[in-house]
């Protein structure tokens, strides 16, 4: 009796599900025909189900990510080679940020750096893929739950005007966090030369010295901040930002970057 009463609903339910599946499939086919899916890195055609990248690019991207690293400077380091939680390179150095998380390493001609450079040169549609990598690094970090504000490393207003966007802010907007908000109260008050043009680590430090400041009514006092940037090379920029935030009263300053350069040759 009950079966007779319920069966039309089951049949109707199955039919509706099948109908929905067929409609979705048809829509995907039309979509694929009109707007064929392409790899967001190399523009090769891919299946809808390939999630933005072709198999080759996924493979190359994975080769740039993963691996143990020093939680203070982000460079490759075996977890067994850390002394008091940091690598030998960090011993005795004045590093103003407390810990760092990275998605991968920056090695020339590899997929991750190529994607980051393209992202900086206008291909902002890569934000989803790079955001995915940044979120994975964030989830794997030891400080994710301590963050109260994400602070993108600021560009000078003239550079932002020229580029049209701040890539660190675009990236920060892709971060998924239960409570932390984005704050742009850290500003670059001096136009600095491009860091890659600097001939030495000392020149990089001098180039960004005093280049940052906080807005008058900032919210940093007593807060745990996570700086967001695309690439860390010597760390001079992140260090100067962290120093400025600590001087403004920030409690802890962490850093999240897509890639860390300056690895020792294997």
Which stretches of the chain bind Zn ion, using CB under 5 A? 39, 41-42, 44, 54, 57, 70, 72-73, 87, 89-90
Tokens standing for 195?
A: 């860091």
Nearest distance in Å: CB 164, Zn ion? 25
Nearest distance in Å: CB 37, Zn ion? 11
Q: Choose between 57 and 183: whose C-beta lies nearer to Zn ion.
A: 57
Give SS3 for 22.
helix
151 near 225, Cβ under 8 Å? Answer: yes
Nearest distance in Å: CB 206, Zn ion? 22
Q: Choose between 57 and 236: whose C-beta lies nearer to Zn ion.
A: 57
Nearest distance in Å: CB 102, Zn ion? 11
147 near 253, Cβ under 8 Å? Answer: no
Cα of 208 vs its chain's centroid, Å: 22
Q: Which helix (H) or strand (E) holds 254?
A: strand 252-260
Distance CA 160, CA 154 (A): 9
In this structure, what are the phi and psi dihedrals at residue 254, rounded to the nearest 5 degrees? Answer: -110, 170
Nearest distance in Å: CB 89, Zn ion? 5
Q: Choose between 155 and 253: whose C-beta lies nearer to Zn ion.
A: 253
Q: Choose between 51 and 193: whose C-beta lies nearer to Zn ion.
A: 51
- Residues in a beta bridge with 240: none
Q: Choose between 41 and 234: whose C-beta lies nearer to Zn ion.
A: 41
Q: Choose between 84 and 178: whose C-beta lies nearer to Zn ion.
A: 84
64 near 112, Cβ under 8 Å? Answer: yes
Nearest distance in Å: CB 263, Zn ion? 11
DSSP labels, 156-205: PHHHHHHHSS-HHHHHHTT---SS-EE---EEE-SPPPPGGG-SSHHHHH
């Amino acid at each position: 009796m009950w079966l007779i009463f319920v069966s039309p609903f089951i049949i109707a339910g199955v039919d509706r599900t099948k109908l929905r599946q067929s409609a979705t499939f048809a829509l995907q086919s039309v979509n694929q025909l009109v707007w064929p899916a392409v790899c967001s890195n190399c523009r090769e055609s891919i299946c809808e189900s390939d999630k933005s990248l072709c198999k080759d690019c996924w493979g190359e991207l994975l080769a740039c990510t993963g691996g143990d690293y020093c939680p203070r400077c982000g460079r490759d380091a075996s977890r067994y080679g850390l002394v008091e939680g940091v690598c030998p390179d960090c011993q005795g150095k004045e590093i103003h940020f407390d810990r760092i998380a990275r998605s991968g390493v920056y090695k020339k001609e590899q997929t991750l750096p190529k994607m980051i450079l393209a992202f900086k040169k206008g291909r902002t549609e890569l934000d989803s893929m790079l955001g995915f990598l940044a979120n994975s690094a964030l989830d794997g970090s030891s400080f994710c739950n301590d963050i109260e504000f994400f602070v993108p490393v600021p560009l000078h207003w003239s550079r932002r005007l020229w580029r049209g966007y701040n890539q660190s802010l675009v990236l920060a907007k892709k971060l998924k966090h239960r409570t932390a908000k984005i704050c742009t109260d850290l500003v670059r008050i001096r136009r600095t030369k491009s860091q890659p043009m600097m001939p030495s680590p000392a020149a990089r430090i001098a180039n960004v010295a005093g280049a940052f400041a906080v807005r008058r009514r900032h919210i940093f006092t007593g807060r745990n901040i996570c700086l967001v940037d695309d690439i860390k090379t010597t760390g001079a920029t992140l260090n100067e930002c962290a120093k400025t935030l600590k001087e403004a009263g920030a409690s802890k300053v962490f850093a999240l970057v897509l890639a860390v350069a300056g690895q020792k040759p294997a």
